């Protein structure tokens, strides 16, 4: 196996990276899995990136879910647990604040109704994506030796996915709240123009402080639980 070399810029400095060269290869087609309509072809390029050829859009989403779970199951499961507020049950009480904050922003309306409001193709793709993830989880559950080593270290198994999880998870409602706090503090100092250098607005427009807003009274404490959601997790 030879090494492939390429030059990239790292921190403005040219650096040469090398990686083992590998041949593109076709993997065994995905077929006969629950939720998959027709067999799907998968070709991995020389960088190990899978490319999918499916006969329908939902089947392509199924393959996407399956392959992500195959290649990045620990990361996928960690994010799933974090969004649902289920980290403390694996990693201990230090993660309770994160779990509390994430659970408080979960959608509590009629998730079935919300899903049904999307176009039928979108619903089919969402269900297929989740089915692909669950198909891989079923495989590794049946054959634990296929699990990434982190699951053994923490004596846990990946969570099963529900398509309604895609509706319930609302952690992204935090949006750019931290950025808005910073903007308010800059405005209080008469330095709001610096924000255009830190976080350029898209589309470009001028910011104006709403009449009556006391920007000097705004601080990081106003983030509340949003601050917890945006803070680094315990180590």
CATH topology classification for 30-41+52-171: Penicillin Amidohydrolase; domain 1 (1.10.439)
Find the range with the poorest average confidence among 14-28, 149-163, 170-184: 14-28
Residue 21: how many other CB atoms lie within 10 Å: 12
Tell whether the model's pLDDT for residue 208 goes beyond 70. Answer: yes
Residue 205: what pLDDT?
A: 83
* 102 vs 3: which has the higher pLDDT: 102
Residues 168-190 have pLDDT tens digits of 997 665 667 888 888 899 999 98
Tell whether the model's pLDDT for residue 109 goes beyond 60. Answer: yes
The chain-wide mean pLDDT, for the chain, equals: 86
Residue 74: what pLDDT?
A: 97
CA 105 remoteness from chain centre: 17
Residue spans per domain, the chain:
30-41+52-171, 175-230
Residues 6+ apart with CB under 8 A from 105: 170, 171, 173, 174, 225, 229
Find the range with the poorest average confidence among 5-19, 40-54, 87-101, 198-212: 5-19
CA distance 75 to 36: 24
Residues 6+ apart with CB under 8 A from 50: 27, 42, 43, 44, 67, 71
Q: pLDDT band at 17, cuts 50/70/90?
A: very low
The share of the chain scoring above pLDDT 70, in percent, equals 87
């Amino acid at each position: 196996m030879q090494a492939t070399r390429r030059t990239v810029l790292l921190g403005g400095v040219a650096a040469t990276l090398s990686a083992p060269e590998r041949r593109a290869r076709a993997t065994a087609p995905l077929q006969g899995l629950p939720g998959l309509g027709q067999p799907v072809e998968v070709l991995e390029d020389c960088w190990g990136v899978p490319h999918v050829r499916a006969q329908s859009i939902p089947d392509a989403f199924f393959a996407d879910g399956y392959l992500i779970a195959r290649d990045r199951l620990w990361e996928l499961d960690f994010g799933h647990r974090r969004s649902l507020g289920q980290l403390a049950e694996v990693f201990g009480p230090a993660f309770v604040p994160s779990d509390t904050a994430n659970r408080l922003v979960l959608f509590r309306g009629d998730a079935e109704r919300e899903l049904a409001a999307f176009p039928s193709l979108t619903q089919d793709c969402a269900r297929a994506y989740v089915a692909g993830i669950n198909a891989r989880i079923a495989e590794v559950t049946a054959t634990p030796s296929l699990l990434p080593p982190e699951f053994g270290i923490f004596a846990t198994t990946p969570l099963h996915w529900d398509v309604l999880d895609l509706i319930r998870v609302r952690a992204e409602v935090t949006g750019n709240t931290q950025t808005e706090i910073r903007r308010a503090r800059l405005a209080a100092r008469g330095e709001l123009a610096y924000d255009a250098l830190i976080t350029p607005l898209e589309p470009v427009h001028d910011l104006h402080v709403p009449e009556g807003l006391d920007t000097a009274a705004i601080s990081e404490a106003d983030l509340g639980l949003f601050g917890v959601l945006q803070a680094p997790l315990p180590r």
